Structure 1
Amino acid sequence: MESMLNKLKSTVTKVTADVTSAVMGNPVTREFEVGRHIASGGPGLCWRIYNGTKKSTKQEVAVFVFDKKMIDKYQKFDKDQIIDSLKRGVQQLTRLRHPRLLTVQHPLEESRDCLAFCTEPVFASLSNVMGQWDNLPSPVPKDIKEYKLYDVETKYGLLQISEGLVFLHSGVKMVHGNLCLENIILNKSGAWKIMGFDYSISSINPSDAEPKYTCKEWEPSLPALCLPNPEYLAPEYILSVSCDSASDMYSLGVVMHAVFNEGKPVCQVNKHDIFKSFSRQLDQVRSRRRVRDHVKMLLSVTPNVRPDADQMTKIPFFDDVGAMTLQYFDSLFQRDNLQKSQFFKGLPKVLPKLPKVNIHISISSYI
């Protein structure tokens, strides 16, 4: 018993020391208590995610922390590039407000040792639940290690991401520029949210009907944290140094492929030999017979062949009674009492088609 207590005390001490070293001196700790390290997310899974609470209200939050020790190996110029990129991503996310984007509760704060900001409560990144465990605590939390994505949950999650892209492309005329598993966050209620706006591009003529975007040439000499994830990047970024909203749709296609293939994208890409990697990737897409038609269209080398985000929300793939029920729950607060009554009367017929985890996640917010 004494040995077990000592082991527990040692574990608690290690976790506390880990949190203290990461956020000591950061202004975010003036208003928020930082708890257990639970997940990782964002570009390259570089953000550690902690449980947290607001001191004044006891409101639950997630605290995202980037420990600057992670980039000690780089020269000053590269360090500055990485920090500037991460700052830009969080600042952009903070300015944007939409139910399909991760909600920032406290803006970015910087100290000598780290960057930190707070969001709505978080479970993990999609990358974590698909088996990518970089920057997670050791041992990996059991709830992440044993997490199972149900088919209806995956469908509704992908629909939520598509709806987020509708807002970005049509609402604010913006290209995300780095849509990938690590930039999709599952919040505490199970909703899928977009983050990671480090490489987002706004239209240079937002008032015009036809937005226009300019992107930078790929620079393989830059650190990986200064570049979008090449495995999810549309070919036009590399082949013609161009992009538009269809480029995000290609990335969505790779995300869809990955979530149904144990987290693996279409092809492994070498950022230093990206032209060769893209040629191989495109050949693999063409040769895969099991890729669904809508994913094949998203992964087309020709941007104007890809369906747009609004069209994606209407494909038969999402015409699923379970996914539609979860979607209705999300919009329940907008319904009048008669609509709510009719919905709940029909709910018993639908419940057997939903896995228990989804019933709990979705209904708990309305009871």
Structure 2
Amino acid sequence: NPQDGHLAAGRNGVKRLRTVRHPNILSFLHSTEVESFDGSSSKVTIYIVTEPVMPLSEKIKELSLEGTQRDEYYAWGLHQIAKAVSFLNNDCKLVHGNVCLSSVVVTQTLDWKLYAFDVLSEYDGANATATGPMLQYEWLVGSQYKPTELAKCDWATIRKSPPWAIDSWGLGCLIYEIFSGMKLGKTEELRNTASIPKSLLPDYQRLLSSMPSRRLNTSKLIENSGKCPLLCVLVVLPKV
């Protein structure tokens, strides 16, 4: 309903998706709101038109990739999402706030795109109101995906942290979910690294540092792709 926080968050997501453009962010085409009435109550539905996509979780099941082929496709997809997140954090000074498996979709050409911008917020450590949407809508983020500072609603620490701190943590959650083949149930599961490729493990651990200031900037993850045997495919594939 019009007083529901979900509606305000949805409107924030539509506004952000409309204005933020990047090759690795879902392409927005059109949106409209329709209000319907049921007796004395009203309901607002937001419709969004985008390029054709499928949730990453469904596409992974459909492809059923295994072994090296699976790892290379995941590495390529992670590279695309890392570029989208780096663009938000480093170029736009924005925080997505909810990077995980469910915030990624796949196009008909098998490219990964970032979306789900309902919590997207400006980042300005000197501005007490800069994280407004995140402060208002953090309840939309699953507790299993929240780094300690967000779980505690420690806004002072969040404002002192680098703009990539929260989304780097989210990228670590995404890595866990795609390689483990399971949706993250609780934060503690991130410690189980059995499914994480050894070549990716150091970066995975740095993304999930308990200290926000020490988390790996996603731009560095992109740079490291040429130094990692698994991720070197990220550099080669675009040239093929």
Instruction: Name the residue aligned to 2:48.
Output: 117
Q: Distance in 1 between matches of 2:216 and 2:205?
A: 10
1:307 equivalent among 195, 199, 216: 216
Runs of 4+ in 1 over 6 A off after TM superposition: none
Cα deviation per residue 1:226-262 (whole Å; 9 max; x = unaligned)? 5112222222102352334211100100100111001
Residue 92 of structure 1: how far off its partner (Å): 0.9
Q: Which has the higher contact order (CA 8 A, sep 6+)?
A: 2
Partner SS state of residue 81, structure 2: helix
Q: Distance in 2 between matches of 1:256 and 1:147?
A: 18
Gaps of 5+ in 1: 1-75, 131-144, 220-225, 270-277, 329-346, 348-367
Q: How does 1:272-291 map to 2 (within 5 A)?
A: 281=188, 285-286=190-191, 288=193, 291=196
Number of residue equivalences: 214
Asked whether the 8 Å contact 1:250–1:299 carries over to 2, the reply is yes
* Counterpart amino acid of residue 162 in structure 1: A
Instruction: Name the residue aligned to 1:127.
Output: 57
Percent identity at matched positions?
Answer: 25
Asked whether the 8 Å contact 1:179–1:248 carries over to 2, the reply is yes
Instruction: Name the residue aligned to 1:262.
Output: 181
Q: Distance in 1 between matches of 2:142 and 2:218?
A: 21
**1:233 maps to 2:146:** yes
Quote the RMSD (CA, aligned, Å). 2.8
Gaps of 5+ in 2: 37-43
Instruction: Name the residue aligned to 2:29.
Output: 105
Instruction: Name the residue aligned to 1:223.
Output: none
TM-score, length of structure 1 as denominator length: 0.52
Q: Distance in 1 between matches of 2:63 and 2:194?
A: 29
Asked whether the 8 Å contact 1:159–1:318 carries over to 2, the reply is no
Instruction: Name the residue aligned to 1:59.
Output: none
Instruction: Name the residue aligned to 2:40.
Output: none
Instruction: Name the residue aligned to 2:41.
Output: none
Q: Distance in 2 between matches of 1:318 and 1:196?
A: 31
Cα deviation per residue 1:179-213 (whole Å; 9 max; x = unaligned)? 1111101011111111011111102479x9xxx74
Residue 152 of structure 1: how far off its partner (Å): 1.4
Partner SS state of residue 4, structure 2: helix
Larger Rg: 1
1:167 equivalent among 67, 87, 96: 87
TM-score, length of structure 2 as denominator length: 0.77
Cα deviation per residue 1:326-358 (whole Å; 9 max; x = unaligned)? 323xxxxxxxxxxxxxxxxxx5xxxxxxxxxxx
1:89 equivalent among 13, 19, 26: 13
Cα deviation per residue 1:143-171 (whole Å; 9 max; x = unaligned)? xx532242211101000111111110111
